[in-house]
Chains A and B, each alone.
Chain A
Amino acid sequence: MKIFIVPSIISHRLQTISVSAVFLSLQDCTFFTRKEILRLHGRYHELAPHLVPMDYTNDPDCKLPLALIVNMPELKENPFRNRIVESFSEDGMGNLSFNEFVDMFSVLSETASRELKAIYAFKIYDFNVDNYLCKEDLEKTLNRLTKEELTPEEVELVCQKSIEEADLDGDNKLSFADFENMITRAPDFLSTFHIRI
């Protein structure tokens, strides 16, 4: 019941009351409300209580490693969890600061726009980070999705067919324009590319 959550919110707020100005600008930059950002800060702090400061007024420069973040319950079962965290990290290695952490969940939230989600979906599925979805990327995606249950011939067929369907400029790999054209027509994209936190 909501009544029991209020005391914990109050205690959390007493600790972070000095932080609201910093979080206000985050509210403008993401799709979250202030309450959600405070809650996200609580979650981020929980991941590494000794590393993450409670006070953000001085804008500390602290990043959490990939291993901590992919153990969150929301990401634990996702076959692409490593790629997701890497795409949102600035160094490409999966170390997220709090701003990037909030950015990640903001893009994956319900209210983010379709275009924004398409951009990040492209980055996530681009395993070798060359700005194209080539056959190797697709094979890796498929193997993660099916836990390698398909035979190599079947994998080859599926990847070949996918590229045939979506490739518009005929270079045998999917550029962002091809991907976007295909994904914006997908009826399930917005409802599946969504994490609730």
Chain B
Amino acid sequence: MTRTNLPGDARERITRRSPPRNVAGVMMMRMRVRTRLPRRSEEEQPIRRKEAKPRTVMRRTVMQTKERRGRREERKEGRRRRTVRLSLQQTHSLHSPFPICLFCSSSSDSNSNSDEEEESMSEGEMARLMEEVEEKKKLIANIRNKPWRMKRRLVHLKEAQQFVDKFEGALGKGKGRKWYAYKVMMTKKWIKFQRDFENFRTACIPWERKIKEVESHFGSSVASYFIFLRWMYGMNLVLFGFTFGLVVLPEVLMGLPYGSIPRKTVPRAEQDTAQDYSVLMDFNGYCKYSVLFYGYYNSQRTIGLLKFRLPLSYLMVGIGTFGYSLMVVIRTMAKNADVGGGDGEDGEFTFAWKMFTSWDYLIGNSETADNKYASITTSFKESIVDEQENQKDENIHLRRFLRVLANVMIICSLGGSGYLIYFVVKRSQEFANRDDLSWYEKNELELIMSLLGLVCPPLFETIAELEDYHPRIALKWQLGRIFALFLGNLYTFLFALFDEVNTKLEEEGSIRNASIWAMKEYYANFTRAINDTESTPPPMDPADVIRGPCWETAVGIEFVKLTVSDIQVSYLTILIGDFARAVIVRFLNYCWCWDLEAGFPSYGEFDISGNVLGLVFNQGMIWMGAFYAPGLVGINVLRLLSSMYYQCWAVMATNVPHERVFKASKSNNFYMGLLLLILFLSLLPVVYTIMTLPPSFDCGPFSGKPKMFDVIMETIDLDLPAFMGTLFSYAANPGLIIPAVLLMARDEEKNRRNNTDSTNQVMKDLEDLLPNRSLAPPPVPG
């Protein structure tokens, strides 16, 4: 579409929009205005001052329409209906989206009709007026998306708001008037409330300044990690709120205190060492018999005056954790979906993208800016070299062979690490039977897992040098491999854990018999001693009762220990790998042969992908362990909070901006997708254990039941009215559940689609933005 797009033309086109008879109307208006004594409303004055120097015809028109409207408003008090009638005529005549023209055309008509008798409005007119009001409301809602000048936006906004205010009342005629007025008032109040809430919410977002500082020094990719961390912190805070408020607090406030029943007391045998630091660090002793773990909770159906159903609440919170996380992750993915903008092939717009999207507007620091200039120059030079050489794959066979070799090596190392973990878990099971363990042997499993997580990724990177991929593709392969490593390790760990659980379950059978036997013996001894068969014996001291192995608490302890060791390793890595390195490079540089800062080792760069993956997997472990250790979520909240401050400090004090800057495309949604996958993978073990494994007989909120979810059945039978029970049994049909789940999934997909404005309107608006002066010479006519 060819068009002459010079400012002069644009001006003409704008004025040409209003119909020719407007000129006569304008002249008439101006004369009328001059004859009346100015009795303007307050708002007229400042507008006049602003428009004191009209430079285009358009602005003059605007001024006149304002005067005209001011006069009309003065008559409004006495002649409301007539005003309504006037605007109705306008809506009849002109249905354009430009309110200026709406008011400036047919002005002569309105004048001549101003003395007519009032007539009642017909249904059709009312409907049309309502349509106009709705259109104006839509304009108000969307006005920030229009590419207009601010002045024009403010003018349109004011007009639209005045129109809506004036005629919203007029619409409330006839039967539903009071209801309509009430509805309108409630809508307004609701909008105001929403806006205040939004203001309040943005005021509550923490760490804005900190992230901005990191952003201006390191660019948007490093800052995206901290934004992700903040988002995780928010989600974990909500989960902590649920767990703490609905499970921990009721048990602490309304449940039985420590020491009253066997499950809440440290057994006699362990009581001597229960307070030792080493025992507490292992989460045994007093830690094990506290609200942190599953085993502490009592299985009483209702507790306290409020009849709070703790077992039901425990199960619901466990399921609700996953449900809420799923909802939040999907919602964030949907919001980010239009940010990605489509994964165009790398070859499609290489140079154009490099030119227009390589500069990061967030940079506010001169050193970072210098780095950025250098990296952009290098990137351009590389692309030029690529382009000039017309890259022919000279030795495609060698390249393929190298790639296959690299993949084989990596698969071998993945398999090796999986086997190592399995071996270590088996060893730890043997160790569980012994008592004389060194510190290393006690923590061997966690140490090995963390070390593998540290050592393998650099190993993969070195092997990947063989492959010779484009950096963006290489990054994707690297992330995929690290993901496979962590996943393999986690699942091997889980399988080994399940082995342990099964052993404990077998043990339980025999211990249960033993404990019942011991109880009988105790009573028998008691009656023999007192010689009175009528009185009931006092219950055995809780510390003496024989305890079952309580596999749930054991699983919870494993997860907590894993999380804690993960925290320790990551903090130590930052301290040694970044801080100590920076200190050494800085101070040893004075007396070293080569320049430590420029050559090896120099300062570290912030490893975005490693950190994000660590965060994602940490969250996976929390999701898995939260059901068995309600305190784990609280520990994670503390960890994320301290991590934020610690890593912000570390990044600013010890890291330098990246030299080679490229980002994984769609990085935000990539990490969210990873999080979603981990969520599903961590859901599986928990659901499996809830559905199939029997709970321990003497610890936890489900003790005594054949399966954990029997709590729900019990509640339906005892607490809800009878017909609900039959209703649920019908609704639990898989034939109903599967379509419901599919429908929900499809709804989410629909939410992700966004509307795009048509380009025509956009291009029209673009012309309006041109300033009055142009550096190009005016075109030669013809």
Contacts and interface: CB of A to CB of B under 8 A. Distances in A.
Contacts of A92: 771-774
Interface stretch (B61-69, B357-365, B399-407): B357-365
Given A182-B349, A187-B343, A189-B357, A28 B369 contact: no
Contacts of B573: none
B376 A166 contact: no
Secondary structure at the A interface, as helix, strand, loop or mixed, is helix
Contacts of B147: 115-116, 119-120
A24 to B, nearest CB: 9
Interface residues of B, number: 86
A106 B154 CA distance: 14
Secondary structure at the B interface, as helix, strand, loop or mixed, is helix
A66 B302 CA distance: 71
B663 interface: yes
A43 interface: no
B213 to A, nearest CB: 10
Interface residues of A, number: 83
Contacts of A97: 150
B198 A145 contact: no
Interface string B660-687: 0001011000000000000000000000
Nearest to A122: B766
Contacts of A154: 380-381, 384
Nearest to A59: B46
Interface in A106-165: 106, 108, 113-116, 119-123, 125, 128-132, 138, 141-142, 145-147, 149-150, 154, 157-158, 161-162, 165
Interface in B368-388: 368-369, 373, 376-377, 380-381, 383-384, 387-388
B377 A186 contact: no
Nearest to B383: A158
Interface string B482-516: 00000000000000000000000000000000000
Contacts of B377: 146-147, 149-150
A114 B140 CA distance: 20
A79 B773 CA distance: 23
Given A99-B150, A187-B344, A145 B358 contact: yes
Nearest to B336: A190
Interface stretch (B451-459, B627-635, B723-731, B757-765): B757-765
Contacts of A79: 359
Contacts of A158: 351, 355, 380, 383-384
B769 interface: yes
Contact of B150 (A29, A73, A86, A190): A29
Contact of B387 (A77, A157, A184): A157
A90 B341 CA distance: 31
B202 A28 contact: no
B779 to A, nearest CB: 10
B342 interface: yes
A36 B768 CA distance: 28
28 contacts: A25-B158, A28-B143, A31-B144, A36-B202, A59-B46, A74-B216, A91-B772, A92-B772, A100-B149, A103-B149, A116-B147, A131-B5, A131-B6, A150-B377, A158-B351, A158-B355, A158-B383, A161-B351, A165-B351, A185-B344, A188-B353, A189-B341, A189-B357, A190-B339, A191-B663, A192-B358, A193-B357, A196-B362
Interface of B: 1, 5-6, 46, 49-50, 140, 143-145, 147, 149-151, 153-154, 157-158, 161, 195, 198-199, 202-203, 206, 212, 215-216, 220-221, 224, 338-344, 348-353, 355-366, 368-369, 373, 376-377, 380-381, 383-384, 387-388, 663, 665-666, 756-757, 759, 762-763, 765-767, 769-776
Interface of A: 2, 25-31, 33-36, 58-59, 61, 73-74, 76-80, 86, 89-93, 97, 99-100, 102-103, 106, 108, 113-116, 119-123, 125, 128-132, 138, 141-142, 145-147, 149-150, 154, 157-158, 161-162, 165-166, 176-177, 180, 182-196
